[in-house]
Amino acid sequence: MRSLSLAARACCSALALSCAAASGAPLPESADVSAWLTRMQQAAQQRSYLGTLAITSAGVVSSSRVSHHVDGRQRYERVETLDGERPKEQIRHNDVVYTLWPRDRLAVHEKLDGVAGFPSLPKSAQRAHESYELRQQGIARVAGRDAQVLLLRPRDQWRFAQRLWADRETGLLLRADVLAAGGEVLESAAFSDVAIDSPRAAQAQVNPRKKLDGYRVLRPPTRQVELDSQGWALARAVPGFELISCVQRPLEGSGASDAPMVLQSVFSDGLTHVSVFVEPYDESRHVPVSTSSGAAHVSMTRHGQWWLTIVGEVPMQTIALFEAALQRKP
């Protein structure tokens, strides 16, 4: 029913825009920004690119080499960390991802959980206008390319503003900043260099089967589940956020077949995500924590015989809303 509702709203919006265009009336600025969001979504899915990505958060800069190649319906991606003490590499083919730690000769095989990283936008990005005011802010340059600057300002106190830079030629997202209420940058992700539609993106890909020679490969079982079927529910909705994914997986870092299971639910408002993890409470390793780093806020707390971890690039009061709303069903 939800898919039908969203499709109906999309059709109505498209019809309204068509009528406005036919009558000669100017389209609202938000419609132009929505069109850019669509372009960014499509470019991240359909374009090949190769570049260096820098993420700045809490004064710390981390960088990765990213290559993304599209061949018909096949998508390949490789992400290599360029700094830090523990090298890591991710190799992706469609919805299958291998995460490799070369020094440990360890790899983890998983399927994507519906949350895409930069430069992708959430599949529900067209809902952004419900929670954000959409504005254009002129032209700038990122990684040597002309970019359209877009500001998405929250309509309430439950989310941060975001400023996006979209490549004017292809629509690919080149930079994204998360902004505090006062306008200061909490976190930034940006290409320092990027080649779009470059054949080198294909050349940078590797066959994971050959790459994994000599690695110990973990394949933790992951299955899609329903939140309520696992005995949990949100007693009240968190404004603007909808459940987009719910999976059950073994406790991270454990390859044992009898490892405790973790329930992960992902909620999105069209631009950002909040992840809620539920696992059995363990007095020996669980200590309540509430902390933040850059735009990310984290709360870890006990809920009866369960341990809740809630994390997202949202204000701490939004994390608290999720914590208060999540209830164990009788």
What mean pLDDT is predicted for residues 19-28?
A: 36
In the structure encoding, which two tokens stand for residue 166, read together?
Answer: 């979209």
What domains are defined for the chain?
Answer: 30-211 (2.50.20.10), 220-328 (3.30.200.100)
Q: Which of 49, 52, 115 is nearest to 81 (CA)?
A: 52
Sign of CA dihedral 57, 147, 75, 113: positive
Q: Percent of the chain, pLDDT > 90? A: 70
Asked which of 131-140, 166-175, 206-215, 293-302 is least confident by mean pLDDT, the reply is 206-215
* pLDDT exceeds 60 at position 12: no
Sign of CA dihedral 157, 186, 275, 232: negative
The number of CA neighbours under 13 Å toward the Cβ of 203 is 5
What mean pLDDT is predicted for residues 266-292?
A: 94
In the structure encoding, which two tokens stand for residue 52, read together?
Answer: 């260096």
32 against 217, higher pLDDT: 217
Question: Residues near 262 by Cβ (< 8 Å), separated by ≥ 6?
Answer: 248, 249, 250, 251, 252, 277, 278, 279
28 against 177, higher pLDDT: 177
Please state, in angstroms and rounded to a whole number, the distance separating the CA atoms of residues 195 and 60. Answer: 25
pLDDT computed for residue 14 by the predictor: 35
How does residue 258 score in pLDDT terms, banded at 50, 70 and 90?
Answer: low
pLDDT computed for residue 318 by the predictor: 98
Q: Which of 99, 51, 49, 46 is nearest to 74 (CA)?
A: 46
Mean model confidence pLDDT for the chain: 87
133-153 pLDDT, tens per residue? 999 999 999 999 999 999 999
What burial letters (b/e) apply to 110-121, b meaning 16+ CB within 10 Å? beebbeeebbbb
Q: Percent of the chain, pLDDT > 70? A: 87
CA angle 61–65–68, rounded 5-degree value: 135
In the structure encoding, which two tokens stand for residue 295, read together?
Answer: 């735009």
What mean pLDDT is predicted for residues 279-295?
A: 95
Regarding pTM above 0.75, the answer is yes
What mean pLDDT is predicted for residues 36-44?
A: 93
* pLDDT exceeds 50 at position 174: yes
- The C-alpha torsion from 20 through 22 and 24 to 29, rounded to 10°, is 40
DSSP sequence for 100-131: EEGGGTEEEEEE--S---TT---TTGGGHHHH
pLDDT computed for residue 177 by the predictor: 98
* pLDDT exceeds 90 at position 1: no
How does residue 68 score in pLDDT terms, banded at 50, 70 and 90?
Answer: very high
pLDDT computed for residue 23 by the predictor: 33
* pLDDT exceeds 60 at position 28: no
How does residue 46 score in pLDDT terms, banded at 50, 70 and 90?
Answer: very high
